[in-house]
Structure 1
Amino acid sequence: MRVDEASPAPRVLIYSHDTFGLGHLRRSRAIANAIVARNRGARATIVSGSPVIDRFGFAPGVRTVRLPPVTKFRDGGYASLDADIPLARTVAQRSSIIVRACEDFRPNLVIVDKEPAGFHGELMPVLEAAASRGILLVLGLRDVLDDADRLVPEWERKGAAETMARFYDEIWVYGLSRIHEPLAALPMEAEMAARIGERLIYTGYLRRALPEPRADREEPAIASGPFILVTPGGGGDGAALIDWVIGAYEIDPGIPLPALIAFGPFLDAETRERFGARIRRLAGRISAITFDSEIEFLMRKASGVVAMGGYNTFCEILSFDRRAILVPRTEPRREQAIRAQAAERLGLVRVLMEADGRAPERMAAALRALPDQSEPSRVLVPGLLDGLDAVARRVRALAGAALESSCVRAFS
């Protein structure tokens, strides 16, 4: 094939380590779906450690490979989800599966989500092989990683900056620099900073759309009228938010809209049952579901949203133009708080910090005021939701560059 012929359809491998929650998987799914929708004949494979990946639908042309799952503790430590298997053995199994998936799929582009070397370095064999075979590599970063005092020692320990400079052709930040610059705090020598800086692209946030609904989709009765959606994402660290909202309804019968709480698949059963008992005493004012893999439909219908402020939920709030109260977590990372407070300064959301007090009256006052908040669209932020279009454009360009590189090697 001549280098001036049309480039082939992109073949994109997306690595998502997924040690906690749903954020990485949902971001990877949005990117993969957009790639195949915007590039004729494109195919994508998501390699993910999420234990609930089979509960999500994906666009035609997107397949998934599941890695043995690991779990993350609140202190930042990790273990195999199967407690009988040593973590080192699980990492070795995961690394072998990733290598095999790459060999079978033969991508011309690999997009790595957040971790430059993968979880515990499990991606290094793929990075080494890709570099030797001319497969282009992209590191995709959410808009905020963490506070500098937490991020810097972690990334220095992992050698993340060196890995970025050595292997990655481009670094995409799925956000805007005016909200946050996730790599600005990393101490780097001038030469390395320049190399990384020239590869850095801010795409804008990833716009979300309604998925194709499942044929058997059902929604709770409360969603047939005005309601507030309360979503702590995966739910593994969302108990405090749910407790605060239920407490507000318990002390204030005058909150104008009922609430629908989506517990999330990782909220433990005992806690969920305790919340369920309280919710049953508030029948008609609060309803709850365990999980909705198509939560975009509920987000679009809701009159307002109460959430923790994870990346994907924030994108959905912007995409569906929902009034929102964010209650960001601050442990083990401050990522959500940094994002939420930057968004509040722009007038996009309202923020309640738990550190300022968890009195139910504070939440009740915010819920009362929620219907009168301004929608995010009232604030003009250029390029705010251009992320998926930017990603699709870069995939086309990089796929063509990969073809040219392979042809040059073939004839050299």
Structure 2
Amino acid sequence: MPEEFPVDATSLARVLIYSHDTFGLGHLRRSRAIANALVAGQPDVSVIIISGSPVIGNFEFRSGVDYVRIPGVVKLANGDYRTLNLGMGIDEAAALRGDIIRQTVESFRPDMVIIDKEPTGFRGEVMGALDRAKARGARIVLGIRDIMDEPSRLVPEWERKGAVEALKAYYDDIWVYGLKDIYEPLAAFDLPRHILDRITYTGYLRRGLPRDPELNPHPKITKRPFILVTSGGGGDGEDMLDWVISAYEADPRLSVPALIVFGPFMARERCKAFMERIARHPCLEALSFDSKLETLMNKATAVVAMGGYNTFCEVLSFNKPALIVPRCKPRLEQYIRAVAAERLGLVSMIVEQGGRRDPLRMAEALLRLPNQRRPGDAIVPGLLDGTDAVRRDFARWLDHRQPPIARSHAAE
């Protein structure tokens, strides 16, 4: 018989959030925002984030939130994967990750499980954990961003992974962190009515300033008007940064300085090459990485970014004029989001023409940017209600759920 432990009367709920991605910061930062929202005002809630990110320890979490790091994996240019650090094959690494996730579920005994983006996880690694959580009566939620990819790519990808079957078998609810009027990420699927009824469009996730100040001093240019140029994680931001730097090199009219933040995943050689160019220009400065980028964005006069989900949420939250330079490969997610946002008057966007990034076109866009309309000038009902909507849903569930059963460290 398993050894049973009485439930702590002060423990309202335990929540586990799975964030599969290692490359980039998007999934981790979204999971962090959700975790911090769930424990805000709920001091007796505990949240564990499971992530393969090597930089998760650099981020600030509220009291009640902790994390378990699983071995990282990296997606290669040809679509294959390899382990980030371990000397083992990807299948063996995925099995190891799955074992850790399943053991975490068995030990932590979550009352709610939130899976970010991938219904079956990386190579199906969460399925065993979902079986255990579902058998115990946990609420299973899929959280997805507003846009994942164009339907012609997303549908076959989900068919290959068995994602729709997993939705039907495991998931009680689907949270879409966006607005239905902007985009319906699951519209291409012929989902049954009972699945459609589980979808809630929360609105975008509002972001706030970090509670603790950044210990490292910011560059001097941040003491006067400046443009923040951020490539997010940086692993795929080289083209955008090159285009902005080239614009400053080509057009002397650009007098508002720019602070360029590379991101933790940009290759060291590329950072070095960019730094050599930046050092030669009086209006450019750079940082390698800032885990509290919200502070810099709040200070900035305007923002240039690729348009990933989290940066877009920050642009909206801090009401900054923004120029979006979306990535178009390997996914069209950022491009689709930028087109919709520009249509609503939230941002402006620029894309290369005929495979060419004209420095003078970028310079003209940068010259217009400081005087551009702010996102708050556009009236979009519910735009930034995401965090509040998640918190309200969670509070209602706490009020109406069945009392938690005894937790055990052994399998039932």
- Amino acid of the structure 2 residue aligned with 1:245: V
Task: State the Cα distance separating 1:406 from its structure 2 match.
Answer: 5.1
- Higher alpha-carbon deviation: 11-20 or 244-253: 11-20
Task: State the Cα distance separating 1:212 from its structure 2 match.
Answer: 1.5
2:130 to 105, 127, 133: 127
SS of the residue 2:269 aligns to: helix
**1:40-87 deviations in Å (ceiling 9; x for gaps):** 421111000111111111111100100100001233221111363100
Q: Distance in 2 between matches of 1:203 and 1:245?
A: 34
Residue 235 of structure 1: aligned partner: 234
Residue 248 of structure 2: aligned partner: 249
**1:121-168 deviations in Å (ceiling 9; x for gaps):** 000011111111101100000000100111011001111111011100
**1:3-39 deviations in Å (ceiling 9; x for gaps):** xxx9952211100001320000000011101111132
State the superposition RMSD in angstroms: 1.6
- Amino acid of the structure 2 residue aligned with 1:239: E
- Amino acid of the structure 2 residue aligned with 1:21: G
| 1:192-271 correspondence to structure 2 within 5 Å | 192-214=191-213, 216-271=215-270
How high is the TM-score relative to the length of structure 2?
0.93
**1:302-332 deviations in Å (ceiling 9; x for gaps):** 0000000000000000000000000000111
Residue 165 of structure 1: aligned partner: 168
How high is the TM-score relative to the length of structure 1?
0.93
1:289 to 284, 287, 290: 287
**1:270-315 deviations in Å (ceiling 9; x for gaps):** 1111101111110x30000000000000000000000000000000
Q: Is 1:155 equivalent to 2:158 in the alignment?
A: yes
| 1:4-153 correspondence to structure 2 within 5 Å | 9-82=12-85, 84-153=87-156
Q: How many residues align?
A: 397
Task: State the Cα distance separating 1:96 from its structure 2 match.
Answer: 1.1
Q: Is 1:369 equivalent to 2:368 in the alignment?
A: yes
- Higher alpha-carbon deviation: 192-201 or 141-150: 192-201
Q: Distance in 2 between matches of 1:379 and 1:221?
A: 33
- Higher alpha-carbon deviation: 127-136 or 285-294: 127-136
Task: State the Cα distance separating 1:346 from its structure 2 match.
Answer: 0.2
Q: Distance in 1 between matches of 2:49 and 2:398?
A: 17
Task: State the Cα distance separating 1:214 from its structure 2 match.
Answer: 4.2
Change (3 A) 1:116 1:355: farther
- Amino acid of the structure 2 residue aligned with 1:172: W
Change (3 A) 1:355 1:349: same
Which consecutive unaligned segments of at least 5 residues does structure 2 have?
1-8, 407-412
Which consecutive unaligned segments of at least 5 residues does structure 1 have?
1-5, 408-412
SS of the residue 1:223 aligns to: helix
Judge conservation of contact 2:22–2:51 (CA < 8 Å) in 1: no
- Amino acid of the structure 2 residue aligned with 1:398: W
Q: Distance in 2 between matches of 1:140 and 1:373?
A: 33
1:337 to 332, 335, 338: 335
Judge conservation of contact 2:255–2:283 (CA < 8 Å) in 1: no
Task: State the Cα distance separating 1:402 from its structure 2 match.
Answer: 3.9
SS of the residue 1:38 aligns to: coil
- Amino acid of the structure 2 residue aligned with 1:81: L
Judge conservation of contact 1:348–1:375 (CA < 8 Å) in 2: yes
Task: State the Cα distance separating 1:401 from its structure 2 match.
Answer: 4.3
SS of the residue 1:90 aligns to: helix
Q: Is 1:178 equivalent to 2:181 in the alignment?
A: yes
Q: Percent identity?
A: 54
